[in-house]
């Protein structure tokens, strides 16, 4: 049984919806256990994140998928506080050879989301992880209408927050599908590489 941890921060809840889609996809693969781990603001003091239980879980994962909204052109500060708190793990290269992946969401179709995914790639590379991106030509280029990878993102998953202000967060159906397929993808790569 392989373990996939999906660690994410959500502000308004929309990144949480996307995390659930990715989780559903990963959990649908036989031989894989997937767990959602939310980064809590209360674990951050003066900008520093601390939660031993979370790092304990991550140390046992075969794959870690990182999720964050794109705030002001990059990963949310709350996510970054978690990332900075992994410096000790980094120095011991404790996550080396784990599979990595990522997803992000913001209001615009492009919206500088690639900046966030590129950062997460650098972060995972510092940890010696192996990156599984988001393969697949966008559906619309194949004449399909299911919305898979409708924004055209290849390094990880991008979604667009289209929830009207003040409403409970909902995902675009194409983005939901993209998240699910991505979870499945990471799970399959993990089964292969960590066997």
Question: Closer to its own copies at the Cβ: 77 or 170?
Answer: 77
Q: How far is the CB of 56 from its own copies (least distance, A)?
A: 19
CB of 176 to its own copies, least distance (A): 17
User: Is residue 105 at the binding interface for its own copies, with CB under 8 A as the rule?
Assistant: no
Q: Is 38 in the site for its own copies (CB under 8 A)?
A: no
- Which part of the chain contacts its own copies (CB under 8 A), choosing from 13-21, 27-35, 58-66, 70-78? 70-78
- Find all residues with CB under 8 Å of 112, minimum gap 6, and list them: 70, 73, 74, 106
Q: CB 20 → its own copies: shortest distance, Å?
A: 22
Q: How far is the CB of 174 from its own copies (least distance, A)?
A: 11
Q: How many CB atoms lie within 10 A of CB 83?
A: 22
Q: Give the dihedral of Cα atoms 86, 91, 96, 99; nearest 10 deg.
A: 20
One symbol per residue from 115 to 144: x for binding its own copies (CB under 8 A), - otherwise; what is it?
x--xx-xxxxxxxxxxxxxxxxxx--x---
- Supply angle C-alpha 100, 33, 192, rounded to 5: 55
Q: How far apart are the first and last CA of the chain?
A: 10
Interface residue with its own copies among 21, 151, 177, 187 (CB under 8 A) is 151
Please state, in angstroms and rounded to a whole number, the distance separating the CA atoms of residues 58 and 98.
Answer: 10
d(CA 25, CA 186): 9
Segment (H or E) for 35: strand 32-38
Residues contributing to the site for its own copies (CB under 8 A): 41-42, 44, 46-49, 71-78, 80-81, 83-84, 86-87, 90-91, 93, 96-97, 106-115, 118-119, 121-138, 141, 150-155, 158, 189, 192-193, 195
């Amino acid at each position: 049984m392989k373990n996939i941890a999906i660690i994410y921060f959500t502000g308004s809840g929309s990144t949480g919806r996307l995390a659930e889609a990715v989780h559903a996809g990963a959990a649908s693969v036989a031989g894989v256990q997937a767990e959602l781990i939310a980064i809590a603001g209360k674990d951050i003091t003066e900008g520093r994140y601390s939660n031993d239980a979370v790092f304990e879980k991550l140390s046992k994962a075969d794959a870690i998928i990182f999720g964050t909204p794109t705030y002001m052109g990059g990963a949310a500060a709350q996510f970054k506080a978690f990332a900075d708190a992994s410096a000790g793990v980094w120095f011991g290269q404790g996550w080396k050879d784990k599979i990595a992946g990522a997803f992000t969401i913001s209001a615009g179709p492009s919206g500088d989301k690639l900046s966030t995914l590129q950062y997460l790639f650098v972060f995972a590379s510092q940890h010696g992880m192996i990156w599984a991106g988001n393969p697949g030509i966008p559906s619309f280029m194949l004449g399909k209408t299911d919305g898979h990878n409708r924004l055209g993102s290849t390094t990880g998953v991008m979604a667009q927050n289209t929830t009207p202000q003040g409403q409970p967060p909902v995902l675009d159906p194409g983005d939901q599908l993209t998240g699910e397929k991505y979870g499945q993808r990471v799970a399959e790569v993990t089964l292969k590489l960590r066997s």
